[in-house]
């Protein structure tokens, strides 16, 4: 790998007017289904909701304004093993600030973290202490956004973790902090294995049981843990259809996502409805609607629907492999299997795992995180539960997420 800063190139977002015109034309020419009488969100996103949203996207959403705002950030791109990696890199003005790698998931992008950049890099201006300051590095994962998929194999989370560590090396960051959500949390869990000794501490939000695994036994669980377990079990039966499709036939769903902006809009917006703060009746009650449409637009303009589906397909093969190995180990030890167990390096390849850095988790209201299932050995040094927000806390509750990061990372220097 080329580890010199000369391999890093400035990048600017420039979506052609012809692409905007094509989007408007496709939205205008959509052949809409109709809602069946008496149905609502239980069968998927209703036409009565999606059609007005698509019309807003076509007629009133200002992509150029969003693009200009995004371009106020310093964007870069570098190639790792032939795979372009786009990232935002904002350095703090505070001397001694440490680097923090922020990793998004699906169906998201680097845009998820926009509202935490200021508080993290300039904490004094946002109610924090100077010593809380960090430099932030926010990549687009391979197959997402401006990191177009170069070929097979970039859904392997170990390979992606290695690429993320390489990006940090090229930026001159020998040691760094890491935070992730969804797929990003899996990569964060693997970073200490591919970059031993370099990760100071890690933080993830919403760690979940293996989504295509077994149901959680609810006997013996009480309170919030029982409620989360019951919701997870319903999700396995009723809410994981998107994942089964992308994890088994990504190319088949790719045609609709790549050809129909309404299909891409529905595919993403439904997840913001189901995975955001349970107190929010509609997606726009949980997140800013223009920020949500910026995310959808990025998927559309970069053809990220099909490529992220393929990345998820490959990622789920890794998840399945490690989940099976973790389950075998847990059956032998009598403990339950979890995503965290799936990242056991010994199970990965029979080699001795390097020492793991301090780790923390934040659990929000919509999450399925049951600590006795996810973390039976109490590997997380910190486990914080919140009564608000959901799968996208950097968008839904940025102040809460920033406070958690400041507290935990402040304890580990």
How far apart (Å, rounded) are the C-alpha atoms in residues 250 and 7? Answer: 32
Q: What confidence score (pLDDT) does residue 248 get?
A: 95
How far apart (Å, rounded) are the C-alpha atoms in residues 302 and 107? Answer: 14
Q: Measuring CA to CA, which residue among 387, 337, 380 is closest to residue 356?
A: 380
How far apart (Å, rounded) are the C-alpha atoms in residues 398 and 118? Answer: 11
Share of the chain above pLDDT 90, in %: 87
* Kind plus residue range of the DSSP H or E element containing 408: helix 398-410
pLDDT in tens, 104-117: 999 999 999 999 99
Q: What confidence score (pLDDT) does residue 323 get?
A: 65
Residues whose CB is less than 8 angstroms from the CB of residue 86 and which lie 6 or more positions away in sequence, other chains included:
11, 75, 76, 77, 110, 139, 140, 145, 146, 147
Burial class from Cβ neighbours inside 10 Å (0-12, 13-18, 19+) for residue 4 reads exposed
pLDDT in tens, 87-138: 999 999 999 999 999 999 999 999 999 999 999 999 999 999 999 999 999 9
Whether residue 179 has pLDDT greater than 50: yes
How far apart (Å, rounded) are the C-alpha atoms in residues 113 and 119? Answer: 11
Q: Check: CB of residue 92 under 8 Å from CB of residue 122.
A: yes
How far apart (Å, rounded) are the C-alpha atoms in residues 374 and 377? Answer: 9
Report which DSSP code applies to 300.
Answer: H
> What's the per-residue H, E or C state across 317-353?
HHHHHHHHHHHHHHHHHCCCCCHHHHCCHHHHHCCCC
- Please name each of the domains of the chain with its CATH number: 1-8+15-413 (3.40.50.1820)
* Kind plus residue range of the DSSP H or E element containing 182: none
Q: What confidence score (pLDDT) does residue 6 get?
A: 61
pLDDT in tens, 348-389: 444 577 899 999 999 999 999 999 999 999 999 999 999 999
Task: Return phi, psi of residue 89, to 5°.
Answer: -130, 110
Residue range 303-314: mean pLDDT, rounded? 96
How far apart (Å, rounded) are the C-alpha atoms in residues 236 and 253? Answer: 20
Share of the chain above pLDDT 70, in %: 91
Which pTM does this prediction carry? 0.93
Whether residue 4 has pLDDT greater than 80: no
- With vertex at residue 351, the alpha carbon angle to CA 345 and CA 357, rounded to the nearest 5 degrees, is 45
Q: What confidence score (pLDDT) does residue 212 get?
A: 87
Query: What average pLDDT does the chain have?
Result: 92
Q: What confidence score (pLDDT) does residue 319 get?
A: 74
Question: Please, which pLDDT band fits residue 213 given cuts at 50, 70 and 90?
Answer: confident
Instruction: Give how far Cα 190 sits from Cα of 11, 21, 110, 332, Å.
Output: 28, 42, 20, 23
List strands edge to edge, sheet with 382-385.
Answer: 9-11, 75-80, 83-90, 134-139, 98-103, 176-181, 199-205, 359-363, 382-385
Residues whose CB is less than 8 angstroms from the CB of residue 203 and which lie 6 or more positions away in sequence, other chains included:
177, 178, 179, 180, 188, 359, 360, 361, 362, 404, 405, 408, 409
Residue range 202-221: mean pLDDT, rounded? 94
> What's the per-residue H, E or C state across 63-111?
HHHHHHHHCCCCEEEEEECCEEEEEEEECCCCCCCEEEEEECCCCCCHH
Whether residue 2 has pLDDT greater than 70: no
Residue range 275-280: mean pLDDT, rounded? 98
How far apart (Å, rounded) are the C-alpha atoms in residues 337 and 242? Answer: 23
Whether residue 12 has pLDDT greater than 80: yes
């Amino acid at each position: 790998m080329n580890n010199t800063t000369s391999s890093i190139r400035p990048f600017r977002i420039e979506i052609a007017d012809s692409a905007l015109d094509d989007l408007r034309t496709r939205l205008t020419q959509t052949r809409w289904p109709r809602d069946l009488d008496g149905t609502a969100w239980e069968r998927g996103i209703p036409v009565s909701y999606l059609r007005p949203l698509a019309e807003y996207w076509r007629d009133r959403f200002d992509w150029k304004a969003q693009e200009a705002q995004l371009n106020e950030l310093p964007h870069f791109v570098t190639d790792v093993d032939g795979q372009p990696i786009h990232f935002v890199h904002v350095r703090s003005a505070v001397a001694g600030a440490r680097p923090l790698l922020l990793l998004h998931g699906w169906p998201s992008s680097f845009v998820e973290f926009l509202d935490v950049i200021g508080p993290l890099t300039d904490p004094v201006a946002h109610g924090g202490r100077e010593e809380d300051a960090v430099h932030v590095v926010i990549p687009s994962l391979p197959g997402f956004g401006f990191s177009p998929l170069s070929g097979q194999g970039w859904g392997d989370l170990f390979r992606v973790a290695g690429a993320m560590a390489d990006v940090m090396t090229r930026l001159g960051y020998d040691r760094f902090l890491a935070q992730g959500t969804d797929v990003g949390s899996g990569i964060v869990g693997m970073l200490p294995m591919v970059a031993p000794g370099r990760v100071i501490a890690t933080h993830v939000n919403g760690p979940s049981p293996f989504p295509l695994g077994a149901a959680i036994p609810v006997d013996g669980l009480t309170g919030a843990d029982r409620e989360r377990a019951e919701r997870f079990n319903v999700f396995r039966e009723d809410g994981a259809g998107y994942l089964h499709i992308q994890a088994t036939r990504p190319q088949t769903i790719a045609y609709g996502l790549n050809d129909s902006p309404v299909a891409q809009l529905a595919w993403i917006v439904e997840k913001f409805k189901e995975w955001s703060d349970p107190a929010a009746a509609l997606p726009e009650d949980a997140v800013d609607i223009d920020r949500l449409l910026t995310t959808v637009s990025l998927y559309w303009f970069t053809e990220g629907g099909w490529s992220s589906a393929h990345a998820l397909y490959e990622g789920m093969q890794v998840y399945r492999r490690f989940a099976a190995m973790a389950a075998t180990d847990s059956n032998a030890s009598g403990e339950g299997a979890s995503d965290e167990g799936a990242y056991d390096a010994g199970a990965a390849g029979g080699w001795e795992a390097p020492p793991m850095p301090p780790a923390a988790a934040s659990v929000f209201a919509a999450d399925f995180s049951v600590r006795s299932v996810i973390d039976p050995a109490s590997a997380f040094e910190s486990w914080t539960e919140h009564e608000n927000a959901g799968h996208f806390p950097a968008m839904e509750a940025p102040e809460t997420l920033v406070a958690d990061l400041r507290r935990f990372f402040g304890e580990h220097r």
